[in-house]
Structures are given as structure tokens and as C-alpha cells.
């Protein structure tokens, strides 16, 4: 099915021009759709139409998908009065971008930023059990029982956490592990380790579904997902 969208809505969603600016540019004949001057700002366009605005070619994209290597100190929200947010780091100009889920302010690593609400809903739905793998550094040694406790599913107070997979990489005064969880409860990994006597001192998300963080992406940087990565994100087997 072809998706149609109003010219002014498409351009303002993409951050290319406000609706008022589109109206003005159309009046001056400065917007071309397939090489023909647009006649009204509410005309319908599709992703295959060639647009030129003030001499600059542009392709309408309904959805955009970015991989961000989230740095520490930035909150997983779209706007905040005091703190920098993850969408402030994306300079695509789009106004409708949001992060798919949340990482704590001090957590780093993979965060998908998009405007595709349906995909985000699928990925975050608790019944879909999308797997998420993290690298974690904790204070102290990780006891042998922790593996069994996590794989059985730990109960903390009145809250039951689903089974998680733990791979211990280093077991010393400061220990390191990879942990895979299938849900996304508030401070989940920090609380799980706290419950077995280890305080998390560093947390980095490595993957979500089958999508892995591109380790060549420095913290704070982002790039568009490739077609293949988008398929990996959508493929939840
Ligand atoms: N678990 C946490 O404790 N924090 C995160 O940011 C993600 C998972």
C-alpha cells in the first residue's frame, strides 16, 4: 500500500521547513515535486516523489532509524528542561524522533532512536520478551550461586524477574560479565546485582533483539541503521 502524506506535514516532520515556510515557498514556486512546481502545501506526496526545496533535493522518508552509542550523562527522553537528552544528540532535524526504551543516565551503549511508533511498541511490549544483552562491571566477586539465581529468575521484594543469562568474564575485586535479560524493568540489572551483593559500577548495552552495537561508533555518536540492521531489529527469533 502506498503511503500518502501532505507535503507540508512531510517537510515539517522531517525538520526541513515549518508548515508556514512550506506555504510561502509553494507560493513563490520554490518547491518542486517531480520537477513540477507544487501548487498547494497540502498536496499529497509519497516516498517515491522527488522533491526540491529552494534548489535542494530531498527525499521524503516516513521513518528514520538511528543507532546511538549513548554516552553517560544524557537522559533517555525527547525533551527535558534541565538535562541533555538522547534526541538532542541527533541532528537530523526531525521533530518526531524518540528513543526505543530507556537506559539510565549513567548507562552507555546501544539505543535505537526512531519515529516508528509501531516498531517501538513491538520491541518494548513485555509479552514479546525481546532479548537485551549488557556488559556489566560490578564491585566484588560474583558468587557461584548468582548464575543459578539469575537463570531461575530472581524475586526482589514483591517483584519477580524473568530468567536471565549470565556469562562471567572476570571474577576479581572488580568483576565483569555479560548478562542477557528478556524484559526491561526499572533499574533491572542494577537491582538484580544489588540483590546478590554486587554493586554495578558500569553498564553498557551491547544488543537489542538481533541488533548489535557497532563498536566502531564512539560514545555520543550515531548513524542510520543499515537495511540489514533494521531487519535484524525486526527479526525477533
Ligand atoms: N538495567 C539497569 O539497571 N539500567 C539500565 O540502564 C538498563 C538495564
pLDDT digits (tens, 9 = 90+) for 68-95: 999 999 999 999 999 999 999 999 888 8
Higher pLDDT, 14 or 32: 32
pLDDT higher than 90, residue 13: no
The closest of 203, 196, 187 to 147, measured between CA atoms, is 196
Across 188-198, average pLDDT: 98
Kindly report, residue by residue over 113-146, the tens digit of the pLDDT.
999 999 999 999 988 889 999 999 999 999 999 9
* Distance between CA atoms of residues 51 and 60, nearest Å: 8
pLDDT at 131: 94
Indicate if the pLDDT at residue 236 is higher than 70.
no
Is ligand 1 within 6 A of the CB of residue 204? no
What pLDDT shows up at residue 59? Answer: 85
Residues in CB range of 39: below 8 A, 6 or more apart: 26
Ligand 1 atom at minimal distance to the Cα of residue 191: 3
Out of 76, 137, 189, 196, mutate this one to test ligand 1's pocket (max ligand atoms within 8 Å of CB): namely 189
Write the CB contacts of 227 (distance below 8 Å, at least 6 apart in sequence).
none
More confident residue, 236 or 196: 196
What pLDDT, in 10s, does the model give residues 210-219? 999 999 999 9
- Our answer on whether the CB atom of 70 is closer than 6 Å to any ligand 1 atom is no
Between the CA of 185 and the centroid of ligand 1 the distance, in Å, is: 8
Confidence grade of residue 237 (pLDDT, cut at 50, 70, 90): low
pLDDT at position 127, please? 86
| Best mutation site among 112, 134, 150, 166 for ligand 1 pocket (most ligand atoms within 8 Å of CB) | 134
Residue 149 in contact with ligand 1 by CB distance below 6 A? no
With a pLDDT cut of 70, the percent of the chain lying above it is 99
pLDDT range class, residue 2, cuts 50, 70, 90: confident
* 47-55 long-range contacts, CB within 8 A, separation 24+: 47/3, 51/11, 53/11, 53/16, 53/17, 53/25, 54/25, 54/30, 55/30
Q: What is the mean pLDDT of the chain?
A: 94
Q: Where are the alpha helices (DSSP H) in the chain?
A: 7-13, 19-27, 117-124, 144-152, 188-195, 227-234
Query: What does the pLDDT read at residue 25?
Result: 96
Asked if the model's pLDDT at residue 1 lies above 80, the reply is no
What are the cell numbers at 100?
Answer: 526505543
Amino acid at each position: 500500500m502506498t503511503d500518502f502524506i501532505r507535503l507540508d506535514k512531510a517537510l515539517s516532520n522531517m525538520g526541513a521547513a515549518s508548515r508556514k515556510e512550506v506555504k510561502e515557498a509553494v507560493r513563490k514556486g520554490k518547491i518542486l515535486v517531480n520537477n513540477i512546481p507544487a501548487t498547494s502545501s497540502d498536496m499529497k506526496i509519497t516516498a517515491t516523489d522527488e522533491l526540491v526545496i529552494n534548489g535542494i533535493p530531498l527525499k521524503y522518508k516516513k521513518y528514520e532509524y538511528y543507532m546511538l552509542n549513548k554516552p553517560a550523562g544524557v537522559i533517555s527522553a525527547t525533551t527535558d528542561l534541565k538535562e541533555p537528552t538522547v534526541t538532542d544528540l541527533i541532528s537530523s532535524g526531525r521533530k518526531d524522533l524518540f528513543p526505543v526504551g530507556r537506559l539510565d543516565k549513567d548507562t552507555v551503549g546501544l539505543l535505537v532512536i526512531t519515529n516508528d511508533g509501531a516498531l517501538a511498541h513491538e520491541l518494548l511490549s513485555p509479552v514479546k520478551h525481546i532479548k537485551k544483552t549488557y556488559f556489566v562491571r560490578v564491585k566484588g566477586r560474583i558468587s557461584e550461586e548468582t548464575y543459578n539465581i539469575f537463570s531461575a529468575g530472581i524475586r526482589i521484594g514483591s517483584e519477580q524477574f524473568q530468567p536471565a543469562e549470565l556469562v562471567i568474564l572476570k571474577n576479581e575485586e572488580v568483576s565483569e560479565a555479560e548478562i542477557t535479560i528478556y524484559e526491561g524493568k526499572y533499574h533491572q540489572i542494577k537491582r538484580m546485582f544489588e540483590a546478590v551483593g554486587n554493586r554495578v559500577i558500569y553498564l553498557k548495552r551491547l544488543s537489542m533483539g538481533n541488533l548489535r552495537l557497532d563498536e566502531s561508533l564512539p560514545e555520543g555518536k550515531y548513524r542510520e541503521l543499515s537495511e540489514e540492521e533494521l531487519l535484524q531489529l525486526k527479526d525477533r527469533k
